[in-house]
Every structure is written in structure tokens, then in C-alpha cells.
Amino acid sequence: MRISADKIASVTRNLKLDRSLTLSAEVRAEHGAVLAGRILGDKSSYNQLEDVHGRLNVLHGDDIVVGALGHRNALHGYEGVLPKSVTPGQKLNILNMGGVIGECISHNPDVGQPFEFEVLGQVLVYPEFQSRLGEPANIRMGALKPDGKAPDCKVIYVAGTCMNAGKTAAACAIVRRLSQAGYRVGGAKLTGVSLMRDTLSMRDYGAEVTLDFTDAGIVCTGPESAAQVAMTIFAELSTRRFDVIVAETGDGIMGEYGVQAILADAELRALTAAFVFCANDPVGVAGGVEHLHSEYAIDVDLVTGPCTDNNVGVRFVERAVSKPAINALTHAKALGDHLLAVLTQRGIRQQ
């Protein structure tokens, strides 16, 4: 079956697909399998799809869309699972703006019901020149591969209590200030569900190169994949000889995307140049800072996020956990200056 796709989701970017595609009626129900399908109905909210360039496009009923199978566990979005089997005509759901496709089993009322996606088939690719034999497409094709080399880099980790805790704002503020100070900065998104938005924001703020888990062939991270994917990303960025890498962990330190596996990995912890913690509220600050210290021997260098939106929160943080508290939105330069001072104190300077 031949189709002309209306929209190709960013989750498929490793494959560099054209709009004109050949589909197979046999679909492999596996993470990363690239499918084409038809959007059923229209929505007025959470109705956009990120394309392979990072541009957001509004989805409409009857659009032919290309995405990839996966799962999602988002507190403020959709919970979705990988279906056990997939056949043409089956109705699945678009689980996020990056084009992840699965069976939605619960949703946050703020985003409403997800789009329905009527499966047309699995995309075929033709890696051999002039070959007529197509291979079922998966985003692992063209992805970064582990090379066994240990990463050689310094990392500023940015973690938080959950999604929407201000992690990307903090990461961007740090990237901008370090870049202004002459540091060569790389950026990374280590965990979450596939979406280019956060790493593109880091690029906008001065990161020379950014990578995320989808570049390593993963649709949605979990405890079994997160640490190895982080190693792969850091090993690749190490070849660029950056002075420092700013790495955001999507979701929270107690979420289901595998952040705990990264925090527990001694080799990844050994790369730490600084640790920034983002929290939504005072209880999250107190519990998170204590949890990081007791469970992983991680001492937080700075607290930011909505818990620092005004002086009430700043006072609480500084009094309750004895950590500097600086808001990334209202005091971005001060936040960056604090991290500059931390790096200088630890002997991490521009090459």
C-alpha cells in the first residue's frame, strides 16, 4: 500500500522519511515500530503534533500521520501502553505531541481524551540501494549505538519532583549564562517520552549540540533503559570535548521514566559537576532534597522551580533545607552566576 503522509512526527526523525511511503499490513507490536494511520475527529485542545524539525502542526480529522509505537506515564497528560498486537483498521491513540502511539488507559482532565489513530500499516524502508525488499521501520534504525567507551565529560544534572517543575527553564538559564561566560556547552534530555521541544530550547539558549534518548533509538525511557541511554548520549557528546553538559531528566526523581536508575548509577554520578533540583512546592523541596541525599548521597547545589516563585518560597527553601534558592524565570542571570561559581570552585573551567 502506498500513501502520502500529511504529517510526520518528530519521534521518527532518525529515519529521515519522505512523505511518499510504502506500508506493510503486517505490523510488529514493538517499541519504536513506525506506523501510518488516519486521525479520527478533531480536538480544540492538546491538538498539535511536533514534526521532524520541531515545528508544531495542528492535527485535523482525516490527516494521515506517521508516528511510532510506545508507552507513556504522564501525571499531567496521558497514560498509555504498548498494544499486544496491531492490525490495520485497529484504533489506537496519539499519546503525546511527539507522535508516540499506543493504547490510552487513563488521562488527565486538563488535556481531555486523546486523538484516535486508525492504523493503516507499518512503514517500510529500503536500506539497500535499488532493493525492492522493504524492512519494517523502527526508530532504532539510524540511532546512536553504544560503543562501550566510558563517557569523559562534566555534567550539570537538572532533576525535579515531577513534570512541569521548571526543569527546562532552569536548564536553559544555565546554558545561556555558561555560554555567555565562554564555556562550550552541550545539552541533553535523558528521560521522558519523545519530544524535541526541550532540547531545541537548549539550542536556542546557546547549547552547541543537543541529544536525547530518541537519538539513541528510544521512544519512552524506563528503568531498564535510562542508565544505558544516558551513557550512550554522554559518550557521544564526549567526542565534542564540551566544557560542560547540561542534562535534564524528564519527569520526577520518583517517576516511572527511569530517573532513579540514572541517580543510582555510580559511573553516571561520578560525572557530576553540579546538581540542580526543581520543585513545585515546599513539601516537594523538603522531601526531594532529603531523598536525594539519603538514597543516592547526592547533595543539591541549587533549588529552583515554582517553589521559588516569590520570596515566601525562597525563604522556606533557605530555612528548611539550607540550600540556595533562585528562580529561573525571574532571576535567570543570578541562577547562572551561582552555577558559574560552583564550577569555578570545583576547578571546571573553559578549555
Q: What is the pLDDT of residue 197?
A: 96
Residue 224 has a pLDDT of 95
Residue pLDDT, tens place only, 88-143? 999 999 999 999 999 999 999 988 899 999 999 999 999 876 667 899 999 999 99
* Phi and psi at residue 265, to the nearest 5°: -85, 115
Higher pLDDT, 336 or 111: 336
Mean pLDDT of 227-235: 97
Q: 3-class SS at 221?
A: coil
pLDDT for 96 equals 96
CATH superfamily of 155-345: P-loop containing nucleotide triphosphate hydrolases (3.40.50.300)
Q: Which residue has the higher pLDDT, 177 or 76?
A: 177
Please report the pLDDT score of residue 130 as a whole number: 64
pLDDT of residue 351: 80
Mean pLDDT, residues 210-226: 97
Domain assignments of the chain as residue spans, ordered by start: 2-136, 155-345
**DSSP string computed for 259-306:** HHHHHH-HHHHTTEEEEEEE-SSHHHHHHHHHHHHHHH-PPPSEEESG
Indicate whether 69 pLDDT > 90.
yes
Could you give the percent of the chain with pLDDT greater than 90? 91
What are the phi and psi torsion angles at 223 (to 5°)? -55, -30
Residue pair 158/174 in contact (Cβ under 8 Å)? The answer is yes
